[in-house]
Structure 1
Amino acid sequence: MIRYILQRIAGMIVVMFIVVTVVFVIVRVTPGDPAAVMLGPDATPQDITDLRTRLGLDQSIFVQYFFYIGQLLKGDLGHSIFLNMPVSAALMERAEPTFFLTVFSLLIACVIALPIGIYAAYRRGSFIDQASTLLAMLAASIPSFWLGLILMQVFAVRQQWFPVSGYGGPDAAFLDRMYHLTLPAVALGLVSSALILRFTRASMLDVLGDDYIRTARAKGVVERRVVLKHALKNALIPILTVIGLTAAVLISGAVVTETVFGLPGVGNLVVSAVLRRDYPVIQGALLVIAGLYVLINFAIDMLYLLVDPRVRY
């Protein structure tokens, strides 16, 4: 087991090194002079030259790369040019809305998808099975930002049940903030539930026809116990995989939804940084998101050991 964990950690390090390199190169080769974009059209050539020197952009890309790697090894993500603060501090300020939006959305997706997927597999070929498959395909084809706009128009503008945008005031209570996150979380959760539902149904169908399921039924085991304990337990690995991937996608995919609902999250920060060419913020946000992606995959791998001990071999 220790060897398996060490192999996974080594793989994470390699992946993050590749991500760091790719992010650095992509940001640097983007057309346009970042110093000129940052200073605006009224900047003089001398101002642009001074800023390029201060940011190290006058050095070769290799020198910039090794300097950036050295910063990362010290835990320094850089300093935001426009916000005039460390990137790590800027990300921490915006982390709360994104974190709770991701958790809230994933909870909604699982509450919708898991029961329907299990029951649809158990009643294979029934009306509920066909309807759930159709709804899953429909939800998967709907952009979350479009669904968010529809929910905003119906429940916020017309019915006035929920706020149109924002995250509450500076002193808002936790429940008030969750109240503001309801519509964006529902928009993301409904779209994300489609993939979880289809994987749950497919995984349950694979195990419901196995010999040990027929044996359990022949022994007179209660049907609910057969489905929820014997079948679901052996179908959990692919279900956990898709839930973990969905969580990672929600973290990185909440950018547009946060912008639509005016949430002061990491997604909104990234959009502003891209428009301003704030390189340190762009790089820091991408690395943090990629790191969370890798950590979630690692956590899912560890859960495999608990669900099915045979994985360690």
Structure 2
Amino acid sequence: MLVYIVRRLAGMMVVMLIVAAVVFIIARVVPGDPAAVMLGSSATPEDIAALRTRLGLDQPLLTQFLIYLSDIARLDLGESIFLNRPVAQALAERAELTGLLTLMSVSIAVLIGVPVGILSAAMRGRWIDQSALGLAMLAASIPSFWIGLTLIKYLAVDLPWFPVAGYGPPDAGLAERLRHLVLPAVALGIPNSALILRFTRTSMLDVLGDDYVRTARAKGLPPMVVILKHALRNALIPILTVIGLTAAVMIAGAIVTETVFGLPGVGNLIVSAVLRRDYPVIQGALLVVSGIYVLINLTVDLLYAVVDPRVRY
């Protein structure tokens, strides 16, 4: 296990190096002078030249990239141009909102996808199964921002049960914060529950026809015991995989959802940084999100051995 973890961590370093290079290149191939965009139309050529020198944009690209890598090695993500603070601090201030939103969204997706997927597999070919598959395809086809706008219209405007937007006043407690995240979490969780539902159904169908399941039924065990104790545990590995991938995707999906609901999270920060061409924030945020994505995949791989003792690394 230790050797496997060391190898995976080494592989993660290679992946993060590639991500850093891609982010660095993408941020600099966008047309236009970033210094001129940052300072606006009223900036003088002297101001633009001074900012380019400050950002190191007047140096060769290879030199800029090496400086960028050395800063990352020291866990220095740079300083935001517009926020006038370290990028790590700006991300940390918004990490709570995005983390809670992602956790709530994943919980909703799992609470919908896994039970309905199990029920659909147990009722294969019946109207419940067909209805579940149809609703899953419908949920996967609807964009999260449309669901968000619809929820705002009916549950925040017509029926003022939830806040329209925002994250509450600065002194709001956890309960008030979570209340502001209910609609965004539902808007993000429903479309992603479709994939979990379909994977759960497929994985359950693969094991429900195995010999040990037929033996358990022949012994007279209750159907729920057969499904939940014998079949589900052996079907969990693909389900865990898709849940981990869904959680990682939701971090990226939170960008659109946070924009729709006016939430001051990491996604909103990235959108603002892109519009302002704030290089340090764009690079730092994408690097952190990529790192979280890789860590989630590693965690899911390690959970395989917990779920199924037959798995050996």
TM-score scaled by length of structure 1: 0.98
Distance (whole Å) between structure 2 residues aligned to residue 125 and residue 65 of structure 1 = 57
Distance (whole Å) between structure 2 residues aligned to residue 29 and residue 311 of structure 1 = 45
Corresponding residue of 1:244: 244
Distance (whole Å) between structure 2 residues aligned to residue 219 and residue 9 of structure 1 = 46
Matched, 1:290 2:294: no
Q: CA deviation at 1:39?
A: 0.7
Corresponding residue of 2:178: 178
Q: CA deviation at 1:109?
A: 0.9
Corresponding residue of 1:87: 87
Distance (whole Å) between structure 2 residues aligned to residue 7 and residue 237 of structure 1 = 21
Corresponding residue of 2:18: 18
Matched, 1:135 2:135: yes
Give 3-state SS (helix, strand or coil) of 2:98's partner.
Answer: helix
Alignment of 1:93-132 (within 5 A): 93-132=93-132
Corresponding residue of 2:203: 203
**In 2, are the aligned partners of 1:77 and 1:88 still within 8 Å (CA)?**
yes
Distance (whole Å) between structure 1 residues aligned to residue 144 and residue 300 of structure 2 = 25
Give 3-state SS (helix, strand or coil) of 1:311's partner.
Answer: coil
Corresponding residue of 2:217: 217
Matched, 1:6 2:6: yes
Q: CA deviation at 1:309?
A: 2.4
Q: CA deviation at 1:253?
A: 1.1
Aligned residues: 313
Q: CA deviation at 1:276?
A: 0.3
Corresponding residue of 1:261: 261
Q: List per-residue Cα deviations over 1:70-112 (Å, max 9, x = no partner).
A: 0000010000000000000000111111110000111111111
Matched, 1:234 2:234: yes
Distance (whole Å) between structure 2 residues aligned to residue 7 and residue 220 of structure 1 = 46
Q: CA deviation at 1:255?
A: 0.5
Distance (whole Å) between structure 2 residues aligned to residue 47 and residue 6 of structure 1 = 48
**In 2, are the aligned partners of 1:39 and 1:48 still within 8 Å (CA)?**
yes
Q: Which runs of 5+ in 2 are unaligned?
A: none
Q: CA deviation at 1:179?
A: 0.5
Distance (whole Å) between structure 2 residues aligned to residue 215 and residue 2 of structure 1 = 38
Give the counterpart letter for 2:252 in structure 1. Answer: S
Q: CA deviation at 1:35?
A: 0.4
Give 3-state SS (helix, strand or coil) of 2:311's partner.
Answer: helix
Give the counterpart letter for 2:181 in structure 1. Answer: L
Q: CA deviation at 1:267?
A: 0.5
Q: CA deviation at 1:4?
A: 1.7
Percent identity over paired residues? 68
Q: CA deviation at 1:290?
A: 0.2
Q: List per-residue Cα deviations over 1:170-208 (Å, max 9, x = no partner).
A: 110101111111111111111111110010001000100
Q: CA deviation at 1:24?
A: 0.7
Q: CA deviation at 1:311?
A: 2.3
Give the counterpart letter for 2:171 in structure 1. Answer: D
TM-score scaled by length of structure 2: 0.98
Distance (whole Å) between structure 2 residues aligned to residue 41 and residue 195 of structure 1 = 47
**In 1, are the aligned partners of 2:188 and 2:253 still within 8 Å (CA)?**
no
**In 1, are the aligned partners of 2:77 and 2:280 still within 8 Å (CA)?**
yes
Distance (whole Å) between structure 2 residues aligned to residue 223 and residue 7 of structure 1 = 42
Q: CA deviation at 1:14?
A: 1.1
**In 2, are the aligned partners of 1:114 and 1:197 still within 8 Å (CA)?**
yes
Give 3-state SS (helix, strand or coil) of 1:124's partner.
Answer: coil
**In 2, are the aligned partners of 1:167 and 1:181 still within 8 Å (CA)?**
yes
Give 3-state SS (helix, strand or coil) of 2:201's partner.
Answer: helix
Q: CA deviation at 1:31?
A: 1.0
**In 2, are the aligned partners of 1:4 and 1:312 still within 8 Å (CA)?**
no
Q: CA deviation at 1:260?
A: 0.6
Q: List per-residue Cα deviations over 1:255-299 (Å, max 9, x = no partner).
A: 011011010100000010000000000000000100000000000
Corresponding residue of 2:35: 35
Give the counterpart letter for 1:86 in structure 2. Answer: P
Q: CA deviation at 1:221?
A: 2.4
Which stretches of structure 1, 4 residues or more, deviate above 6 A after TM superposition? none
